[in-house]
Amino acid sequence: MFTRAIVRPPAANFAHGLTAAELGAPDLQLALRQHASYCATLDACGLALITLPADPDFPDATFVEDTAIVSDDFAVLTRPGAPARAGEVARIEPALANCFERIHAIAAPGTLDGGDVCQTGSHFFIGLSERTNAAGARQLADLLTREGCTSTIVDIRAVPGILHLKSGITSLGDNRIVAIDALVEHEALAGYEVIRIARGEDYAANLLRLNDRVVIAAGFPRLHERLHVLGYDIVALDMSEFRKMDGALTCLSLRF
């Protein structure tokens, strides 16, 4: 059960952030409304929000997930693979210090983005990507072992079209994983019930299980129907402006 979440609204220069999406510039006012709807959904799912101020020094700072890994009892400060985002970690640390007694950190030469880490229970999948290197993945795996958790490293560097591991897989709980075609048969997912994302709906693979509800991006009817048949209470949110900046649902919060 999640009880809290850290969020940060997009700043006025949100459109200056990093993106390879080629979907055009985001509409800031629409992005702010979408972020407000996202926060209202977290609240409705029972999460108390810790809302940080918009940070114009870092246009990507609304994507707080990349700056830390959080679990029930500990947090790990990441070391983002994009140099332009490195300063975001120091900006998130005070909020984490108010919530966690044990805080670890990834050190050079390791790089690690939070979007490359998918937690399911006490097990963590760690993605090797353009942003997370082998040294960072190994450091996190070692930290998780010390915390009594297990992990598996999943190399996604040859998987086209995804920036982070959680662009391709996310956890539904209930021993279920949602996955795109390129990862649905990956050996790391053996032992899980894998829900295949339909072709053309890859963006929808990034979803959020928030206590008794599942939050998905709006506009993906086949996934919506599949989850409905499985009995989930579904909330669909418009994520158009964050998609333009390579962002998705999990990116916008740190949940614990």
Residues annotated as part of the active site: 164, 251
Distance of CA 25 to the CA centre of its chain: 22
Sheet containing 213-217: order of strands: 208-210, 213-217, 233-237
**Hey, what are 230's tokens?**
């499985």
Ramachandran angles phi, psi of 196, nearest 5°: -80, 130
Rounded Cα–Cα distance for residues 75 and 228 (Å): 33
4 three-class SS? strand
Is residue 69 within 8 A of residue 75, CB to CB? The reply is: yes
Pair type for strands 208-210 and 169-173: unpaired
